[in-house]
Structure 1
Amino acid sequence: MPNITALRTIRLPERPKLIWVEIETEDGLTGLGETFRGAQAVEAVLHEQIAPALLGRPAQNVTAISHELLNPYVGFDSSGAEVRAASAVDIALWDLAGQRSGIPLYVALGGAMREQVPVYNTCAGYDFNTSLGGRRAIVADDRSKGPYDDQIAFMRDAGVLAESLLSEGYSAMKIWPFDDFAQGNAHHISLSDLKTGLEPFRRIRAAVGDRIEIMCELHSLWGTHAATRICNALADYQVLWVEDPIAKMDNLSAVADLRRQTRAPLCGGENLAGAKRFRDMLAADAVDFVMLDLTWCGGLSEARKIAALAETHARPLAPHDCTGPVALMAGLHLALHAPTAIFQEVVRASLATWYPQLVDRLPEIRDGVALAPTDPGLGTALLPDVHRTDGAVIRESGTPRHKSRT
């Protein structure tokens, strides 16, 4: 079995929340992983804690390595730097396993339940959530940066946006017009603010009727009283789900209590890590839809367990991506394989602009569905120019085959 010889991390100045991991092995292969948020802290964990334990080990022992990295003496129930680092390593090891066997990852996981996966568009802009500042707030003098500046679009005329998405084959969209109202008082929303937040949903239904599914993202901003008022009002617009409605989504009793009080289906889980937390969430009957992020939850090794839990509880599954191209590819492989998967999230603004500047292949999307990749492993790799980017921060542990620019 080929041993691991090197671990490399790459950070770029224009995407400061993202970090990529490349793992090299004796047989000349390179596996790719990624994670998002706290990139500098993740980098330190990878080189100071994980690399010394990883170098020289057989790369095929994915399960043993993943179990070791996710079961430290001091446990981590949410997706801290340790879990995000472990997630990136796990994805890279699965990428290596698929490449070595000459099969795509969804085949390595046990094969496909489906040959294509419906996608929904998260209506973000071109640089949504990638800078070091907070989330983008749309103000009166904001101007659209292009045809896919969808966050401005849903705040200005969500009906026109829905028509645009339908014309490209999308059958579902996700928006978040309530975020600004949570600032300062997350435990109450006035009837006036509630009406304003509902306006995009009204416009969508007026423009396209029931031809498109709508999801509402609440970004874990609200207390249960305000979230209940929002969710019940959204139910009148037949939203598919309300996502992460309350602060501290790991407060499972509070989430379950909210679910009992609201008529709108709830979605959650992207910020949780490890199969145990998802087991607890499902046992509490807290959500109608399970969302997970493979770069946060522990990688593919944990994600397939979470998918099995969703199946045993008869809950639909939807992998998250509003972060980076590797998260998208990994999520797609899981969605092709997992029995209850119903959607893969995409951001068309990212697909049209900066994702192709980073990786050599992305999912093929036709008429609102992502087709199964055919290349071995993840089916994507960083473009060579990424390593040569001005200001790139590259660190290497072990003995890399080719010395990268630092």
Structure 2
Amino acid sequence: MSRITCLRTIRIAERPNLIWVELETDEGLTGLGESFRGAEAVEAVLHEQVAPWLVGRDSRRIEAVSRHLMTPYLGFQSTGAEVRAASAIDLALWDLAGQRHGIPVHEALGGAMRSEIRTYNTCAGYAYNSGIARGATAAGRRDIGADDRPIGPYDDQLAFMRDAGALAESLLAEGFTAMKIWPLDVQAAASGGQMITLSELKAGLEPFRRIRAAVGERIEVMAELHSLWSAEAAARICHALEDLNIFWVEDPIAKMGDFKALADLRRRSRVPICGSETLGGAVSFRQMLEAEAVDFVMLDLAWCGGLTEGRKIAALAEAFARPLAPHDCTGPVTLMAGLHLAIHAPTAIFQEVVRATLATWYRDLVTELPLIVKGMAQAPTRPGLGTALLPDVRAREDATVRQYGTPNAA
């Protein structure tokens, strides 16, 4: 038996959306998990509901723990706080499993399909999504003002709004052959996403046109719509993007769980549809695939239920002959977990990365990050997820640390 002796959570004020979970066992192992958004709510679920049930149980029974935590009386089949908490626990349990056997998680999942996987750069800035700041949208995304100036060489969100062609050239020079941008987000506020005018559409398409003018077909371009639009507005946007050879349009409608509306949009447009990081649990993904609503499947392991649900979603993607692309615009542990799944899953085609965070604050938090060579993320080789929180994170002045149970001796 590998009994869980302690559940610990760590949050830092500098990155208020992030929460980490450490599970310690009587073997002397520590497994690391992570979730994102509403960190305080997730913390409350972990300590008030999960920890009293989980501490003392066998950490090897990952499927049993997942079944229990993914079927609460309220909050299942969603990405609510209960499921985000379950996701963090599940990642930590898989980390423990890999460490226990001395193998990477992708091997524990059943082995690698590939030794590396193509990445695309999500063109975000350094602090994108990591906090709710003044001037940000409801999702925590940054609005670009006329007076904004780059805060570093990888301030890619400002770059795609100002000179998307130069940004594409920069990415190609570093080995990236795919990029994702969202210049249409700023157009949604005027109508609450209910409609987009021709002038707004023209302005929103300009960065895509500049990319094609600068680098032609040498880079793939994804359009992120961040679930901001009505189905009709999204259809107008998709039609306008058709001649620009967009690789996919991601999360185009306001309610990505409305699979009928999403399927109708897919039938009306020649642009491939990708969805959705916002869904939780394998059942939601099965329903989306049964509705023939998407061309590409995206999932976030910190929101969907962790690797236990993630591998089931990957199996569904394979059964429905749909490519898979794990999400990352959240935290370094989720990125490592997504890479393990992408290395393992048969239909995986991309692992999302943000070069701005890889080059800066992700490195301040964890011991290891993915190795990217000429735009290809290499398969992790260390046991478990292959990364851990740096020791000084827990000791930071802005850290909130709570634990339940008896920690391992230092």
Q: TM-score, normalised by structure 2?
A: 0.97
Structure 1 Cα separation of the partners of residues 352 and 55 of structure 2? 34
Residue 132 of structure 1 is matched in structure 2 by: 132
Confirm whether residue 324 of structure 1 aligns to residue 331 of structure 2: yes
Residue 19 of structure 1 is matched in structure 2 by: 19
Confirm whether residue 183 of structure 1 aligns to residue 189 of structure 2: yes
**C-alpha displacement at 1:77, in angstroms?**
2.2
**C-alpha displacement at 1:235, in angstroms?**
1.3
Residue 400 of structure 1 is matched in structure 2 by: 407
Structure 1 Cα separation of the partners of residues 362 and 150 of structure 2? 20
Structure 1 Cα separation of the partners of residues 224 and 72 of structure 2? 33
**C-alpha displacement at 1:71, in angstroms?**
1.1
Structure 1 counterpart of 2:164, which letter?
A: A
Q: Which runs of 5+ in 1 are unaligned?
A: none
Residue 177 of structure 2 is matched in structure 1 by: 171
Residue 10 of structure 1 is matched in structure 2 by: 10
Residue 96 of structure 1 is matched in structure 2 by: 96
8 Å contact from structure 2 (residues 295, 323) kept in 1: yes
**C-alpha displacement at 1:398, in angstroms?**
0.4
Q: TM-score, normalised by structure 1?
A: 0.98
Residue 250 of structure 1 is matched in structure 2 by: 257
Taking every aligned residue pair, what percent have the same amino acid on both sides?
68
For residue 146 of structure 1, the aligned residue among 148, 152, 158 is 152
Bigger shift: residues 159-168 or 230-239: 230-239
Residue 387 of structure 1 is matched in structure 2 by: 394
For residue 276 of structure 2, the aligned residue among 245, 254, 269 is 269
Alignment of 1:29-48 (within 5 A): 29-48=29-48
Structure 2 counterpart of 1:67, which letter?
A: R
Structure 1 Cα separation of the partners of residues 182 and 18 of structure 2? 23
**C-alpha displacement at 1:187, in angstroms?**
1.4
Confirm whether residue 59 of structure 1 aligns to residue 62 of structure 2: no
Q: Which runs of 5+ in 2 are unaligned?
A: none
Residue 79 to residue 253, structure 1, CA distance change in 2 (3 Å): same
Confirm whether residue 235 of structure 1 aligns to residue 242 of structure 2: yes
Structure 2 Cα separation of the partners of residues 131 and 370 of structure 1? 27
Residue 303 of structure 1 is matched in structure 2 by: 310
Confirm whether residue 357 of structure 1 aligns to residue 364 of structure 2: yes
Residue 193 of structure 1 is matched in structure 2 by: 200
Residue 122 of structure 1 is matched in structure 2 by: 122
Structure 1 counterpart of 2:214, which letter?
A: A
Structure 2 Cα separation of the partners of residues 402 and 22 of structure 1? 14
**C-alpha displacement at 1:75, in angstroms?**
4.7
Structure 1 counterpart of 2:180, which letter?
A: K
Structure 1 Cα separation of the partners of residues 347 and 239 of structure 2? 26
Alignment of 1:212-223 (within 5 A): 212-223=219-230
Residue 266 of structure 2 is matched in structure 1 by: 259
Structure 2 counterpart of 1:51, which letter?
A: A
> Residues 100-129 of structure 1: CA distance to partner in whole angstroms, max 9, x if unpaired?
000000000000110001000000000001
Structure 1 counterpart of 2:286, which letter?
A: R
Structure 2 Cα separation of the partners of residues 217 and 73 of structure 1? 33
**C-alpha displacement at 1:363, in angstroms?**
0.6
For residue 373 of structure 1, the aligned residue among 367, 380, 391 is 380
Structure 1 counterpart of 2:89, which letter?
A: V
Structure 1 Cα separation of the partners of residues 91 and 249 of structure 2? 29
**C-alpha displacement at 1:132, in angstroms?**
2.0
8 Å contact from structure 2 (residues 14, 398) kept in 1: no
**C-alpha displacement at 1:65, in angstroms?**
0.4
Structure 1 Cα separation of the partners of residues 8 and 371 of structure 2? 28
Bigger shift: residues 215-224 or 180-189: 180-189
